[in-house]
Amino acid sequence: MEDVQQPGESGDPGSTDQFRLLRGGGGVITGTVVCAAAIAYSAGKNDSTAELCLAIMGTVSVYWLAHVHAVTLGSSLTHRHHPVAAFRHALVHTLPILGASVVPLAILLLGRLAGVDLQTAAWTALIATIGLLTFYSYLAGARGGLGTGGRVASACAGAGLGILVALLKVALH
């Protein structure tokens, strides 16, 4: 599979994209939003940290598998790639969807380990996803060559998406 390389994507150990924020930016954003939505929906419905974490990981995993399937089929149908090669490409290409849930889950678990109640830990993790979406969007604006105003507008768009998920949580609980 041939991908067009973007600046900072050399794949070299010294590459500035070690977390695939540049190559997997779409997956990072999608994974963060899916994780936030899972927290928003599940936090009020689960009574234990383990149940909430399983709900989050399960939701993100199912979404990731659906995306792997879609990318595999799309690559096979559109580019006539062999299904095995397309699947391998899809696995690597979509991993940021899974990886995006690590930080919010870590924040949730650290909060619980620190003695914070489950609802507060869930809200903290959800607020962290808003911060991450804001940061990723600002970074995208900066990488895209936007000036300060454009970067702030991009960051506001990311924050707005996260806030919509928080409003969903309020509406559901």
pLDDT (average), residues 91-113: 93
Q: Which of 171, 160, 172 is nearest to 29 (CA)?
A: 160
CA distances, 104 to each of 13, 59, 124, 141 (Å): 27, 14, 8, 23
Reduced to 3 states (helix: H, G, I; strand: E, B; else coil), residue 14 is coil
90, 5 Cβ separation under 8 angstroms: no
Inform me whether the pLDDT recorded for 8 exceeds 80. Answer: no
Q: Which of 139, 111, 137, 142 is nearest to 124 (CA)?
A: 111
Quick check: 126 pLDDT over 90?
A: yes
Phi, psi of 102 (to 5 degrees): -65, -50
Domain ranges of the chain: 25-172
DSSP 17-76: -TT-TTTTHHHHHHHHHHHHHHHHHHTTT-SSHHHHHHHHHHHHHHHHHHHHHHHHHHHH
Mean pLDDT comparison of 24-33, 38-47, 111-120, highest-scoring range = 111-120
Share of the chain above pLDDT 70, in %: 86
What is the pLDDT confidence band of residue 27, given thresholds at 50, 70 and 90?
confident
Q: Give the pLDDT confidence score for residue 17 in this predicted structure.
A: 57
- 21 — pLDDT class (breaks 50, 70, 90): low
Q: Against a cut of 0.75, is the pTM above it?
A: yes
Q: Please give the average per-residue pLDDT across 58-86, as a whole number.
A: 92
